């Protein structure tokens, strides 16, 4: 059992972050008077929340996943939904990666052209292959 300061330190977040997720209903620390007490369960839930955020999932998606954890003791449905959401996220990231790579190539080409122009040796722009 940890107080809010110790829980925040262990998780690498602020106390405000813990209160935010409590307000959203994703964690429910016990109360002893006005003191919040975080059990291993709440710390584990916060670790899942933080991982979900790092991976780009919305708070709503994370909440759905955590809710399934409680109602599906065998975790079959939870894993099926996780697999589908992860697959979708992978597809989104691959699209973003392609867009970033294309933008990076365009910027590098502009940079080369600008450098060449400044050096007095203009370079013919590379034709767009798309």
Are residue 15 and residue 43 in the same domain, yes or no? yes
Are residue 1 and residue 29 in the same domain, yes or no? yes
Are residue 45 and residue 77 in the same domain, yes or no? no
pLDDT digit string, tens, across residues 78-94: 788 888 989 999 999 99
Q: How many CB atoms sit inside 10 A of residue 26's CB? A: 19
Are residue 80 and residue 41 in the same domain, yes or no? no
Domain count, the chain: 2
Are residue 21 and residue 55 in the same domain, yes or no? yes
What are the φ and ψ backbone dihedral angles of 32, each rounded to 5 degrees? -120, 95
What is the Cα–Cα distance from 22 to 8, expressed in whole angstroms?
A: 13
Are residue 49 and residue 98 in the same domain, yes or no? no
* pTM for the whole structure: 0.70
Decide if 44 is inside a domain: yes
Instruction: Give the pLDDT confidence score for residue 5 in this predicted structure.
Output: 94
Instruction: Give the pLDDT confidence score for residue 130 in this predicted structure.
Output: 54
Decide if 66 is inside a domain: no
Question: Strands of 30-32's sheet, edge to edge?
Answer: 2-3, 35-38, 30-32
Structure tokens at 59: 């708070």
Whether the Cβ atoms of residue 100 and residue 108 lie closer than 8 Å to each other: no
Decide if 82 is inside a domain: yes
Are residue 76 and residue 126 in the same domain, yes or no? yes
Look up the domain containing 40 and give its range: 1-59
Decide if 65 is inside a domain: no
Whether the Cβ atoms of residue 50 and residue 11 lie closer than 8 Å to each other: yes
CB proximity list for 62: less than 8 A, separation 6 or greater: 26, 48, 49, 52, 53
Low-confidence ranges of the chain (pLDDT < 50): none
CA-based R_g, the chain, Å: 23
Are residue 81 and residue 30 in the same domain, yes or no? no
């Amino acid at each position: 059992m940890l107080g809010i300061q110790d829980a925040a330190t262990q998780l690498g977040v602020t106390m405000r972050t813990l209160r935010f997720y409590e307000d959203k209903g994703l964690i429910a620390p016990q109360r002893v008077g006005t003191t919040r007490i975080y059990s291993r369960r709440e710390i584990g839930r916060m670790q899942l929340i933080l991982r979900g955020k790092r991976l780009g999932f919305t708070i709503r998606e994370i909440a759905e996943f955590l809710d399934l954890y409680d109602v599906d003791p065998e975790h079959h449905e939870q894993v099926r939904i996780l697999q589908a959401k992860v697959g979708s996220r992978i597809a989104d990231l691959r699209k973003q990666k392609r867009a970033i790579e294309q933008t990076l190539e365009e910027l590098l080409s502009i940079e080369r052209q600008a450098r060449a122009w400044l050096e007095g040796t203009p370079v013919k722009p590379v034709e767009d292959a798309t």
